[in-house]
Amino acid sequence: MDENKLSNNVDIVVDNKVILELKSVAEVQPIHKAQLLTYLKLSGLKLGLLLNFNVLQMKDGINRLVRNL
């Protein structure tokens, strides 16, 4: 992953394999998914999790995005 391109934007990178994008919004919008897909593209990573903490149960706030399978 090219850390210079994303170091100020990506919330968390786990084991240089998964990007975690953290949100606390009423509803995840397409722009949020597009943002994570852009981070995946720029980093060369394939897996990202968009985590929205503004939900009653965390399982309802997890969106898994995979790039180029």
H helix intervals, the chain: 3-6, 30-43
Residue 5 CB-half CA count within 13 A: 9
Res 54 pLDDT > 90: yes
Which residue range forms the structural domain that includes residue 23? 3-66
- pLDDT tens column, 1-43: 555 566 678 999 999 999 999 999 999 999 999 999 999 999 9
pLDDT at 7 (0 to 100):
65
Provide the 8-state DSSP code for 53: -
Q: How many domains does the chain have?
A: 1
pTM, entire model: 0.87
pLDDT for the residue numbered 8: 72
pLDDT above 90 for 68:
no
* Whole-angstrom distance, CA of residue 25 vs CA of residue 55: 9
